[in-house]
Amino acid sequence: MVKLGKMLRSVGVGRRVATDTRVVQRANRAARADRLPAEERMAGLATDAGGGWARPEYGRYMATSPSVYAAIKLRADALTRPPLRVYRTGESGGRRTAVEASHPAARLLDRVNPWHTRADLWRATETHLCLWGAAFWAIERDEGGQAELWPLRPDRMVVIPDRRRYVRGFVYRGVAEPVAYTTEEIVWLRYFNPLEELAGLSPLAPARLSADMGHEGLRFNRHLLRNSARPDFLLLTDEEMNETELEEFYTRWEMRHQGSTNANRPAVASAVRDVKTLGLSHRDIDFIQGLRWSLEEVSRTYGVPKLLLGDFERATYANVQASERMFWRNTIVPEVRFLEEQLNRMLLPKLGYPQLTVEFDLSAIEALQEDENNRVQRESALLDRGVLTINEVRRERNLAEVPWGDGPAER
C-alpha cells in the first residue's frame, strides 16, 4: 500500500491544486459527503474495481451468449462505418471549417497508435461500453512526444475520488502491478448510473438474468441431446418379453426399417397391441420460449431489433428496412452524439485543441437517407414560401454563404 501511494504521488495523482493556502473547490458540496478519502479508497484497491459495477465476468458474455455477442458486434461494427470529421469553429461560433488531414488532432483520430486502427479503437470502445458501461482511453506519448490513444479494460480500472477535486486519478490494476494515471492522461467515457456516479451502468446489469436463462437453456438442451434415453415412441404388448426376445425384435426392426432404402416401409408387429408417440414435454416447450424471451430481452436492452439479430420468423423486405432505420435512428445516432460530446469535452482540450470539435459524418449511411430526403423536401417547401432564405439553409448545413442568398428564393 505504501509503495502504491508513493507511485501515485510520483505521477501526480496525489498532488493538490491550491491557490495560496486554500484548496480549490472543484466538486459540489454534496459530492464531498459521498466521497471516501482517497487513502481509504486506495485501501480497497486490491479487491474493488469500478465499485463492483465493472465485473470481469461481464466480458465472458461475448464468448458464451450468442444474442449478446450479436447485439454488441452489430453496434460496434455500425460505429466504425461513419468517418469522424474534425472541424475548427469560427469566431463567435460562426461557420465551421474542416481541418486538413495532416492536422495533429485529425491524424491522431485516424491513426490512434502503431498497433490499432481507427476502427479498432471504436470497436473496442463500443464493446467496452456495451459490456461494462464505461470505456477508458490512455493518452500516451511516443519517443517523439506525439500523442497516442490506447483503449484499456474497464474491469481493471479504478477511479480514485477526491472530496475537493471530484476525481484525483485512475489506477489500472495490471496482472503484474498497478499503473497510475492522472486525470489528464485518461479519457473516461461512461453511461449514466443512478446508483453510483463514479461508475458506468453496464447494459448487462439488467439483462444478465435473461442472458443467463438463454445460456442455461442451451446447456440443458445440449446435455439432453447427448445423454437423453427418451425414445420417440413406445410399443405396448400384452405379454412380457425377455431379453432374448427384445434383442431379436430390435435386430429384425433395424434390418427391415433402418436406412434410406427402407424409408416409409410398413411395419408389422404381431406381439404389439398399441403404439404411443412421445411428444415434447412442457420443459422442452419452456426451453424454446426461454430462448425467444432471452433474445427479446437482449434486443430491448441493446436497442437492436430482433430482425437484425437473426430472428427472421416474420421477416419481410419492408420490416427489415424499417428495423435498420429504427436501429440507426434510435440507437446509433444517439450513441454517436454521446461520443461526440465526450470527445469535444474530454479529449480535445487535453490535447491542447479546445477550439476544435469532432462530428461523425452520417451522410453516407443508407438507412438514414430517407430522413435526408424528407429534410430536403421540408427545406424546399420553406424556401418556396419565403420562411427561410438560402443563406439560412446553407448556414444550417455548414456551407459558405452566397451574396444573393439573403433575399427570397426565386420561383
Give residue 35's pLDDT: 61
Q: Which residue has the cell 479508497?
A: 41
pLDDT of residue 228: 60
Q: For residues 100 and 37, state if they share a domain.
A: yes
- Assess if residue 166 is contained within a domain: yes
pLDDT of residue 28: 72
Number of structural domains found in the chain: 3
**Residues 82, 220: one domain?**
no
Mean pLDDT, the chain, rounded, equals 81
Global confidence as pTM: 0.73
198 and 214 share a domain? no
Q: How far apart are CA 158 and CA 166, in angstroms?
A: 14
Q: How far apart are CA 404 and CA 390, in angstroms?
A: 8
Q: Is the dihedral of CA 21, 24, 30, 36 positive or negative?
A: negative
Question: Does residue 93 sit in the same domain as residue 189?
Answer: yes
Do 42 and 132 belong together in one domain? yes
323: amino acid identity, one letter: S
Give me the numbers of helices (H) and strands (E) for the chain, helices first please.
Answer: 15, 13
In-domain check, residue 384: yes
Boundary residue ending a domain (309, 343, 377): 309
Is the CB of residue 13 less than 8 Å from the CB of residue 180?
yes
Proportion of the chain in helix, strand, coil states, percent, rounded to 5: 50, 15, 35
Last residue of a domain, one of 160, 184, 204: 204
33 in a structural domain:
yes
User: 224 and 187 share a domain?
Assistant: no
Q: How far apart are CA 389 and CA 393, in angstroms?
A: 7
Q: Which of 189, 204, 219 is the last residue of a domain?
A: 204
Kindly state whether residues 185 and 303 are assigned to the same domain: no
Q: Are residues 123 and 98 in the same domain?
A: yes
**Within 13 A of 110's CA, how many CA atoms are on the CB side?**
12
Tell whether 186 is covered by a domain.
Answer: yes
Same domain (yes/no): 403, 298:
no
Cβ neighbours of residue 175 closer than 8 Å, sequence gap 6 or more: none
For 14-46, the three-class secondary structure string (H helix, E strand, C coil) is CCCCEECCEECCCCCHHHHHHCCCHHHHHHCCC
pLDDT of residue 26: 55
Residue at 324 is within a domain: no
Given this model, what pLDDT does residue 32 score?
A: 64
- Does residue 172 sit in the same domain as residue 241? no
pLDDT score at 94? 62
Which residues, given as ranges, of the chain have pLDDT below 50? Answer: 1-2, 4, 11, 14-23, 43-50
Q: Which residues face 251 on adjacent strands?
A: none
pLDDT at residue 92 in the model:
61
49 located within any domain: yes
Half-sphere exposure of 46 (CA within 13 A, CB side): 4
Cβ neighbours of 386 (radius 10 Å)? 11
Say yes or no: 158 and 185 in one domain.
yes
pLDDT at 77: 97
| 14 in any annotated domain | yes
In a domain, 360, yes or no: no
* pLDDT value, residue 291: 73
Residues 275 and 399 in one domain: no
- Residue 1: the pLDDT is 41
Q: Where are the alpha helices (DSSP H) in 161-234?
A: 204-227
Structural domain boundaries, residue 109: 2-204
Cα separations in angstroms, 22 against 5, 32, 74, 162, 168? 23, 16, 51, 15, 17
